[in-house]
Structure 1
């Protein structure tokens, strides 16, 4: 019987899950620390608990993208985690985009030039913290840093490399590169040998170092893989692998991965605030759209109206379902809107009369926003959604959430029943890439639309979009 451990280093929490016979058991779930030493200690603690339950055949590491550490020559982090959600100046990346052309950069990489990609972080470090930049021997994405500690090899996955703005995305049908792009790195004063090697499909996995084996309880030589970008890993694990399928991964943020096969117009995708990526299989093109807050918006409201308790915000009385599609609606943008039709200045706003239930209105707001993204992706790809797969712990906080999503879309909708799909998916991918497991997806269940509200919700969606396009007060 094979067993694997999946590690998910998320924006808010780090999870470690042991998977046996397709069933995952969470052995650790704690806040993600900023310091690399603290993060590695957390991972070691999780692995130690996981191995106490029995031997482990493979380890997979998934993480948030666009986040990492500058490392010195001894592999020590020179700063705390530099995260995608950190606020920083954008002067350097704007200057680069002006000089090279934003559309040209997007055509080359599939990534919008802005403050989040790693290339922007390196430009910022060089300009604002030259001593740190000069001392940086290598850069490690957050998953790459954990892989380095476990195996001694600095590797990443193409799904993470593809979020850096320093990795070329070739035309559909052409093979991905095994390294970062030298010309793009030159713009930040770097070389490919300062970054991780990019793992591709078919590459053999790295192996756990003997000293790490003694510390964690793993066997020396256990295969370790960087499974990839957390949202992409959850999509693969949920069975989203065919053109026409969409994976919606909900956490603090939300990401919609729409497998379209080939993107007709990359520049149009950039203008809508989305990205073009290759999926876990390395060949299928997809549209990736992000919303900065989904579960995060619920927490934002709970902090202001429910003493920080999301469960209290969403608590329903016997008349809870009667609140659906009632009253006004919320615009769920505590930090602006990334897509579609990007608007960094828009904020949270109530449109119309007070809603009948604030928690229900919050679920409807993030659902309207998500459906607007899906409709925009369909227009860009000229392909309708055939299946929508939902996953993520926040979706399990209320039985209404998935039902609202299924009501708004015309596609068959499923909900992955596993509470930690990213960590579980990282474990399954590790087994698969080590040749020890099949490609069976995580368990899911069909989601039924809310009876009698389809037309009403589509009407309210049109009104929501119209109001979201209006400038704020």
Structure 2
């Protein structure tokens, strides 16, 4: 029976799972290091432990996007991880957007110009750390760097390349390319040869090299960059056809609405969202979200319960739901809708329970995004698929989401949907299996008397707009 190992390199934690006989077993879950050598050591520890249960037939790697390492001539990282969460000046990328035109750049790539994409990081390096930029011989995204260490090949996935602002997204129905866009890269004076080769869904996998130094693994084992963590979780959860929506919650939250094709890309940019191709390489989707979901709960816990999220949420129950008080969940800006980098946390009224108000606020914010996506897609939300450990840890949170969405809603039951999805996608791409979607449980909405959530949505949105205008 085939066995696959999935690796998920997330913003907060790195997880390794072994999948066999349809069962996913978590091997390790450790904080994600900033240093590449420490990250590789964590991955090797996980792979070694996974191999102790028996032979491994394929390895899949998923990771956060918009994060990576400049590599020197010796292949070592020149800096710690340059993460999407880092606060970097975006003067250089805004100058590029001014020269090309923000709408034109978005239409070419599906990505909004800002400080997060790799193109902005490269421009920042060139301007602020010219010696490091000059010494850079390759750039590797997080998953790409692990793949390079295991196989000796610098390779990425199109779902990760598509988040860099340097990969041209063809019009709907047109095939993807295996290279980054040389015209865009001229803006940063970067040779396309310094970037990874872009893997497409039907490409043969790379192979584990003999000198990868992973005890228990056979040289020649297929290794796959599965892709962007949120996209991998969506695919694994069965969100694979037009009209489906995946809501993946971790430190951040991402909502992927499969639309088939997008005719007006600039209108998507205006709402703070992106256009992407899904893991199949063909289907277009709207990608949106917030940089702080589980992270927002941790942010509040750090300030009110000595960092203990469980204590923050303790004793929350249905008796105090949907009050006339709420929070605006923006510790560091709002990505969408109505993008506002200056948006900040605020309490509206006097919430009876801070933790409950926090998950309600995240529910309101997510529903605002989902409704905007539905408007852009030109069709109502039909079904919502949820995934992520924070939702499974806090059962009231997915019920609030299901109540607000008012459509059939399921919650994926896998402990680590991204890592498990990476393993399953690797099995498929290596031609070893055609896995079924992960198991999911239906999410029951709250009782009818909680319909006041729908009454509160306009007030929540109005208060968010008022925050933008300082009222």
> Which secondary structure state, in structure 2, belongs to the residue aligned with residue 169 of structure 1?
coil
User: Structure 1 CA distance, aligned partners of 2:205 and 2:4?
Assistant: 14
1:233, 1:425 within 8 Å by CA — same for their partners in 2?
A: yes
2:292 counterpart of 1:293: yes
Q: Which residue of 1 aligns with 2:391?
A: 395
8 Å contact 2:321–2:450 — kept in the other structure? no
**1:382 counterpart residue number:** 378
Q: Structure 1 CA distance, aligned partners of 2:178 and 2:12?
A: 30
Residue 321 of structure 2 is aligned with which of 320, 324, 349?
324
What residue in structure 1 maps to residue 414 of structure 2? Answer: 418
Residue number in structure 1 paired with 2:460: 464
Spell out the pairing of 1:111-126 with structure 2 (5 A cutoff).
111-126=111-126
Quote how far apart the aligned CAs of 1:399 are: 1.1
Equivalent residues of 1:311, 1:397 under 8 A apart: no
The answer for the alignment partner of 2:49 in structure 1 is 49
In structure 2, distance between residues paired with 1:121 and 1:206: 28
Is 1:143–2:133 an aligned residue pair?
no
Larger mean Cα displacement after TM superposition, 166-175 or 462-471 = 462-471
Equivalent runs, 1:65-464 vs 2, <5 Å: 65-212=65-212, 214-316=213-315, 320-352=317-349, 354-453=350-449, 455-464=451-460
For residues 418 and 365 of structure 2, the distance between their equivalents in structure 1, rounded to whole angstroms, comes to 23
CA distance in 1, matches of 2:263, 2:445: 32
Change (3 A) 1:129 1:460: same
Q: How far 1:22 moved relative to its partner?
A: 2.1
Alignment check: 8 A CA contact 2:66 2:117 kept:
yes
Superposed CA deviations along residues 84-140 of structure 1, whole A, max 9, x for unmatched, are 111111111011000100000000000001110001111111111111111101100
Distance in 1, Cα, partners of 2:93 & 2:215 = 41
TM-score (norm 1): 0.98
1:358, distance to aligned residue in structure 2 (A): 1.4
Pair 397,72 (structure 1): closer, same or farther in 2 beyond 3 Å:
same
TM value normalised by structure 2: 0.98
Unaligned runs of at least 5 residues, structure 1 = none
Distance 1:425 1:145 in 2: 19
**2:324–2:456: 8 Å Cα contact kept in structure 1?**
no
Contact 2:111–2:274 at 8 Å: present in 1 too? yes
Deviation of 1:187 after TM superposition, in Å, equals 1.1
Q: Residues 453 and 171 of structure 1: is their aligned pair in 2 closer, same or farther, counting only changes over 3 Å?
A: farther
CA displacement at 1:316 relative to structure 2: 1.6
Contact 2:249–2:294 (CA under 8 A) maintained in structure 1: yes
In 1, the alpha carbon distance for the partners of 2:71 and 2:449 equals: 54
Q: Using the alignment, how far apart are the partners of 2:87 and 2:6 within structure 1?
A: 30
Structure 2: distance between partners of 1:85 and 1:93: 16
Moved over 4 A (4+): none
Secondary structure of the corresponding residue to residue 347 of structure 2:
strand
Which whole-Å deviations, capped at 9, do the CAs of 1:196-215 have from their partners, x for residues lacking one?
Answer: 00001210000001122x53
Aligned counterpart, 2:39: 39
Indicate if the aligned counterparts of 1:45 and 1:216 stay in contact, CA closer than 8 A.
no
Q: CA RMSD in A?
A: 1.0
Distance 1:298 1:198 in 2: 36
* Cα separation, 2, equivalents of 1:194 and 1:327: 54
Counterpart contact for 1:416–1:444, Cα < 8 Å: yes
Any idea what the Cα deviations from partners look like across 1:412-467, whole Å, max 9, x if unmatched?
10000012100000000011100111131111011111011453111111110111
Q: Contact 1:150 / 1:209 at 8 angstroms: preserved in 2?
A: yes
Contact 1:4 1:430 in 2 (8 A): yes
Asked if 2 retains the 8 angstrom alpha-carbon contact of 1:260 and 1:383, the reply is no
CA distance in 1, matches of 2:324, 2:454: 15
Distance 2:88 2:150 in 1: 31
Give deviations 1:366-394, integer Å, cap 9, x for gaps. Answer: 00000000000111111212111000011
8 Å contact from structure 1 (residues 16, 26) kept in 2: yes
1-side partners of 2:460 and 2:289: how far apart? 18
2:18 paired with 1:22: no
CA contact (8 A) 2:305 2:311 kept: yes
Report if the CA contact (8 A) 1:7-1:16 is conserved: yes
1: CA distance between counterparts of 2:218 and 2:18? 15
Q: Secondary structure at the match of 1:257?
A: strand
